[in-house]
Structure 1
Amino acid sequence: MTVPPAHHRRLPDGPFHAMTWGWVGERGSWTTDAARQSMVAMTEVAPTWVVLAYAALQDSAQSTTIHWQDSPDLVTDDEIREAAAHARELGLRVCLKPTVNVKDGTWRAYIGFFDQDVPGEPTWDEWFDEYEAYILHHAALAEEIGADLFCIGCEMVRADAREDRWRALAARVREVYSGPVTYNCDKYQEDRLTWWDAVDVISASGYYPTGTWPEHLARIAPVVESHGGEFLFIEAGCPSRDTSPARPNDWNMVGVPDQQAQADYLDEMLTATLGTPWVRGVALWDWPANLYPAEAGPSNDDYCMYGKTGAEVVRRHFSARP
């Protein structure tokens, strides 16, 4: 494999068997008794890491203001500190993953502006200046709490092309955070980014349709080889609906609850990914801070596998692979 650049930082030793917890990080949702119990229940599927994921809001895909300071829609720094400390008590490594969402429901991948600045219109630089302040604040927080990995962005497909700004952001993050840095590209984008050398770890959302894992792993392999570093599927999973394995990234897909469909998909996905030598690990989507009762599992049709057949599948894979 290609030798990674000298500045690359490695993930800590041991398996990266992760669960994303606490999304979307609304203020007050991470410090309740229910939230603590949820994280304890999460350990039943044998994760070694937790990805603490939360989202600040902007009003529209063309807004240049991100509401992250004292926003009632975003967990506080103290909530992040407390969740990370609880994860440590449970023996978990911690990844911080601040991201942005659009208040009107537009997917963050569509955040974007004119390629060439136009007077009176919002610009990429205005947005990136705001985004950089948000990310740098949380990178400093990641350093303070000793986070084991920091993610500088998630599924920002239109923004991905702004290579200079991402390189500058990654460099500034390294000035305040001493651990490894990653960026979470969207599915199908692994071989399209041009600045993977600016981060330590390539990571992607692995929501690939059932039956297609071999072809996508074959497509991604040369990217990892060229990068010379480590690779994660930092998001992956499937709702427990009969239709979802065909399009596991679509949380609005119509279907009936089907925990076996989810279990079969998770088994296929974890067999393919954790059985691939250059895949360092997987973070599953997702485990809510306010967890439904276990007996409601069979009727729940979301990504969380608590109280479903999929929980045993995950526990088996995570426990079996050192």
Structure 2
Amino acid sequence: MAKYRRSLPLLKGGLFLSDGGMETTLIFHEGVALPHFAAFVLLSTADGRRRLLSYYARYLAIAQQHGTGFVLDTPTWRASADWGAKLGYDAKALAETNQNAIYMLTELRAEYERPQAPIVLSGAIGPRGDGYRLGRMSADEAEDYHSPQVSAFAGTEADMVSAYTLTSIDEAIGIARAAQSHGMPCAISFTVETDGRLPDGRTIQTAIETVDAATGGSPHYYMINCAHPSHFEASLDGRSDWAQRIAGIRANASAMSHAELDDSETLDDGDPVDFGRRYRNLTAHLPRLRILGGCCGTDHRHIAAICEACLPPTALSA
């Protein structure tokens, strides 16, 4: 039985952390080979699961130290049909992998959760295509494609699903509809280019308003991920209704463009202190911002810097 599916605690206030750039941390800091950038393959071996548990534990310890909640995402950003086929996973194997990812996280929640610091289990969904390029599917096609992964999570203790690094409004609509049909709370997270717009030139405002209009406002909240704060902070009007639908940020450490990151053979981990300051500005500007984490190039240092910058001294010393 899902613990928080009927009432997500992060919608009631308080600060929730999430992890950083899982794939970039594993590849560049730990030397782990991730074919097609797919961390879910690590679930198939004891050593892989050990690495994942160790990775999550660093972030959960930070949340525990500062008394915050946590949104604990599965390592399943690539665990959908097209990517699974490239890695030798059929539909049954993918369903089992997505479910096993939640089972692993329930153990972590049992170890780290505290009464005033809930841990929400989130099934992570990624785009059908490359997260740095414009997706081209109709909303109906996207709903059909992503439904099996949503269905797999619905049969576990997952509290919600979160779709990250989306470039296509139609794909976001399809995922939101799939989540709604399976009774799963859903978060939709878009990525943007250096001009703060989706790859097709449309704004975050248009993306959020279009998805809400097409789904009856079914996403529980929206996020922005896989872009540096400098790419989108100026485009967010915190007083507008659409911006108040944004509850989470998982930014990149690097200010490079997606194209530059694709071509880079080294990791740009930016400046964690500056990263934290930018999050402090975002929290001041967006009144409903609740979930703070990282994406490519970020690690536990960046999440710790967010805490230092965004939490009041009384919370830090508690």
| Aligned-partner Cα distance in 1 for 2:142–2:222 | 24
| Post-superposition offset of 1:264 | 4.0
Trace 1:15-94 onto structure 2 (pairs within 5 A).
15-20=15-20, 23=23, 24-29=38-43, 32-46=49-63, 48-49=69-70, 50-54=72-76, 55-59=78-82, 69-71=91-93, 75-91=97-113, 92-94=119-121
**1:20 and 1:249, CA in 2 relative to 1: closer, same or farther beyond 3 A?**
farther
Please report the TM-score for the alignment, with normalisation by the length of structure 2. Answer: 0.64
1:8 and 1:200 in contact (8 A); partners too: no
1:209 and 1:247 in contact (8 A); partners too: no
| Post-superposition offset of 1:86 | 0.8
Q: Which residue of 2 aligns with 1:95?
A: 122
Deviations 1:106-151 (A, max 9, x none): 44753325x7xxxxxxxx645532322322332x13xx3152x422
**1:247 and 1:107, CA in 2 relative to 1: closer, same or farther beyond 3 A?**
closer
Q: Which residue of 1 aligns with 2:276?
A: 267
Secondary structure, in 3 states, of the residue corresponding to 2:182?
Answer: helix
| Post-superposition offset of 1:43 | 3.0
| Aligned-partner Cα distance in 2 for 1:157–1:257 | 23
**1:171 and 1:305, CA in 2 relative to 1: closer, same or farther beyond 3 A?**
closer
Secondary structure, in 3 states, of the residue corresponding to 2:39?
Answer: coil
**Is the strand fraction higher in 1 or 2?**
1
Which stretches in structure 1 are left out of the alignment for 5+ residues?
1-6, 116-123, 239-243, 287-301
- 1:134 corresponds, among 149, 170, 187, to 149
| Aligned-partner Cα distance in 1 for 2:249–2:97 | 21
| Aligned-partner Cα distance in 1 for 2:172–2:50 | 43
Amino acid at match of 2:103: R
Indicate the structure (1 or 2) with the bigger Cα radius of gyration: 1
| Aligned-partner Cα distance in 1 for 2:220–2:191 | 17
**1:184 and 1:53, CA in 2 relative to 1: closer, same or farther beyond 3 A?**
farther
Amino acid at match of 1:145: E
| Post-superposition offset of 1:266 | 0.9
> Percent identical across equivalent pairs?
8
Q: How many residues align?
A: 262
| Post-superposition offset of 1:232 | 2.1
Whether 2:248 is the aligned partner of 1:224: answer no
Trace 1:191-202 onto structure 2 (pairs within 5 A).
191-193=205-207, 194-196=210-212, 197-202=217-222
Q: Which residue of 1 aligns with 2:187?
A: 182
2:248 and 2:292 in contact (8 A); partners too: yes
| Post-superposition offset of 1:191 | 0.8
Whether 2:305 is the aligned partner of 1:313: answer yes
2:143 and 2:177 in contact (8 A); partners too: no
Whether 2:291 is the aligned partner of 1:282: answer yes
**1:68 and 1:202, CA in 2 relative to 1: closer, same or farther beyond 3 A?**
farther
What RMSD in Å do the two structures reach over aligned CA positions?
A: 4.0
**1:252 and 1:167, CA in 2 relative to 1: closer, same or farther beyond 3 A?**
closer
Q: Which residue of 1 aligns with 2:164?
A: 154
Q: Which residue of 2 aligns with 1:236?
A: 251
Deviations 1:273-306 (A, max 9, x none): 22235242234234xxxxxxxxxxxxxxx61334
| Post-superposition offset of 1:89 | 1.8
Secondary structure, in 3 states, of the residue corresponding to 1:19?
Answer: coil
**1:146 and 1:126, CA in 2 relative to 1: closer, same or farther beyond 3 A?**
closer
| Post-superposition offset of 1:262 | 2.3
2:74 and 2:122 in contact (8 A); partners too: yes
| Aligned-partner Cα distance in 2 for 1:135–1:250 | 32
- 1:303 corresponds, among 265, 273, 297, to 297
